Chain A
Amino acid sequence: MLALDIRNLNKSYPAFQLKDVTFQLEQGYIMGFIGANGAGKTTTIKSILNLLHIDSGEVHVLGKSMAEHELELKQEIGYAFGGVDFYTRSKLKTLTDAIRRFYKHWDEDAYRGYLRRFKLDENKKIAELSAGMKVKYSLALALSHGAKLLILDEPTSGLDPVSRDDLLDIFQSLVVDGEISILFSTHITSDLEKCADFITFIDNGRVIRSSEKNEFVETYRLLNGKESELNDVKDKLISYKINSFGFTGLIHAADFDPSSGIPSTVPNLEEIMIYFARKEHSHV
């Protein structure tokens, strides 16, 4: 079953537009949702949660239309928005007490279990938690109300490497049973190399590609050629940089002829993001 099915999502602002955003997330997997700042990640996530009024398109969560079953589906969605704080001067237990009443399937034992597992002290105030602990608290809440789809907007941004690694391990352990799915937006692509099964790459409001992680990077090649070779491939390159050794450029694997002799490697996610961003800049 699809945990998340987004089709032809369109949303226009005066200075920005989501254009035909389409991607699907299978239940039981982690999808990394990557893109530069301002590429449309948060707008897409807010559209999924019905916080924004989309111009057109469809969002289905766990097989049901979000537009028609918003309340029912929000019982099944857990979220963590990195960097956004609510009622920071309240104690965890006060906040939890207000939140748990909204969820039909709240499991108090599970909540206690997650507090212990994540080493959260419910007598602390939100403001006293580190960034990583805040994400863990959001996860504890989401998992205690039986969320099947976790939507995490930049959950690891601003965290130290140890906390990030810790969270990534937690994410991976959550999807093991195949019931929970995670959509995880970030611009820290190394996190996704560690834990994502699928990658959806959004750039300037448009989904460039959504596919299995290895397939995603295999679609591209990073060329390191001499400047004299640039003209042979220039038209096919997504974008390129010239340096003292020659040029480095990103190309679709299908457009690259290995017999050309230009050295090529499989790029990492970060390189793909950077070269797509350069393409935008060169068009401006």
Chain B
Amino acid sequence: MYNLLLKDLKLGVSPLFFVLPLFTGALMLIPGWLYLLVPMYFCWITIPNMFGGYKSQNDLMFTSMMPVTKKDMVKARVSVIVILELLHLVVAMIFGAVNLRLYADMTVYFFEPHPGFWGLCFAMLAIFNLLLIPMYYKTAYKYGAASTTAIAGAMIFAGVAQWAGIQSPYLADLFSGSGADNTAAQASLLLAGVLVYAGFTFLAYRMAIKRFLKVEIQ
């Protein structure tokens, strides 16, 4: 599995996608912005480009010829996705911390980047992974429909979450108002997000293996 991961990171993923989190993370410095958009760039840019690269380089055939199991192939690919997602979120969190210091006194309309907000981001990527990974592994090379569905799922979640965060005084208070200073509440929201992310991604991985075992490598 480690060799496959190394192969994916060295051959399959352009170095651009390891640098991209710095650029998208820096968007956290835009004052009062809709910060749920920040991790969304991973879904819009990295995934379709990365999967397009695998497809055009015949990665599926290349990897299938080697002494590896299909299970490990999925595990390595899901690991690459998780590594990049975490990179995006961690870098964005660092910029988010700067944001909170820079704009402490500013009244903002959308979610502020407190820990609870990052819980929402984890949940958003959880939905993205759950839709993307099993759909992709129906063929293990066609990524258009899987990416479209997963992006739509993540955007709908982000839209509903942000709308509810504005409309509901309770949620507004919990995420950005007085709740922002409640460490326990914020930590719980973040933890809940991380757990949903881990659970959904694991479920996606299991579903992907089941589907990929049926795939014929043409």
State A102–B216 Cα separation when bound (angstroms).
Answer: 22
Partner-binding segment picked from A15-23, A80-88, A227-235, A276-284? A80-88
A94 and B10 in contact, given A74-B66, A84-B61, A88-B57 (Cβ under 8 angstroms): yes
Compute how far the CA of A79 lies from the CA of B11 in the bound complex, rounded to whole angstroms.
20
Alpha-carbon distance between A95 and B65 when the two chains are bound, in angstroms: 14
Within 8 A of A (CB), among B49-84: 57-59, 61-62, 64-69
Interface 1/0 per residue, A97-113 and B, CB below 8 Å: 11101110000000000
> Would you give the shortest CB distance from A129 to chain B, in whole angstroms?
15
Pick the contact of B216: A53, A75, A85 (CB < 8 A): A53
Does A2 touch B at the CB level, under 8 Å? Answer: no
Which residues from chain A contact B61 at a C-beta distance below 8 Å? 51, 81, 84, 86
> Which A residues lie within 8 Å of B218 (CB)?
46, 51-52
Contact assessment for A94 and B11 in the assembled complex, using a CB-CB cutoff below 8 Å: yes
Complex: A98 Cα to B216 Cα, angstroms: 24
- Select the residue from A46, A87, A94, A97 with max chain B CB neighbours within 10 A: A87
Asked if A98 and B10 sit within 8 Å, CB to CB, the answer is yes
B108 at the interface (CB under 8 A from A): no
Residue of B with least CB distance to A49: B65
Interface extent on B, as a size class? 20 to 34
**A71 interface contact, C-beta 8 A:** yes
Task: Let me know if A157 is at the binding interface, CB within 8 A.
Answer: no
Whether the Cβ atoms of A51 and B217 lie closer than 8 Å is yes
Question: Is there a chain B Cβ closer than 8 Å to A90's Cβ?
Answer: yes
What total of A-B pairs shows CB separation below 8 Å? 58
Cβ-defined partner of B10 (8 Å) among A52, A70, A75, A97: A97
Residues of chain B within 8 A (CB-CB) of A103 are 67
Q: A residues within 8 A CB of B65?
A: 49, 51, 74, 79
Pairwise interchain contact B67-A87, C-beta atoms closer than 8 A: no
Interfacial residues of chain B within 151-199, with CB under 8 A of chain A in the complex: none
A60-94 with Cβ < 8 A to chain B: 70-72, 74-75, 79, 81, 84-88, 90, 94
The answer to whether residues A71 and B69 also contact, given A52-B217, A86-B58, A101-B6 and a CB cut-off of 8 A, is yes
- Residues facing A in B1-16 (CB within 8 A) are 3, 6-7, 10-11
Query: Per-residue CB proximity of B1-35 to A under 8 Å, as 1/0?
Result: 00100110011000000000000000000000000
Is B11's CB under 8 angstroms from A95's CB? yes
Q: Which of A51, A72, A79, A94 has the most CB of B within 10 A?
A: A51
CB distance from A142 to the nearest CB of B (A): 10
Q: A residues touching B (Cβ–Cβ < 8 Å)? A: 46, 49, 51-53, 70-72, 74-75, 79, 81, 84-88, 90, 94-95, 97-99, 101-103
Those 8 A-B pairs whose CB atoms lie nearest each other, nearest first:
A74-B67, A51-B217, A86-B62, A98-B7, A101-B3, A102-B66, A71-B67, A52-B216
9 sample A-B contacts, Cβ–Cβ < 8 Å, listed by A number = A51-B217, A51-B218, A53-B216, A72-B67, A74-B65, A81-B61, A86-B57, A87-B57, A99-B7
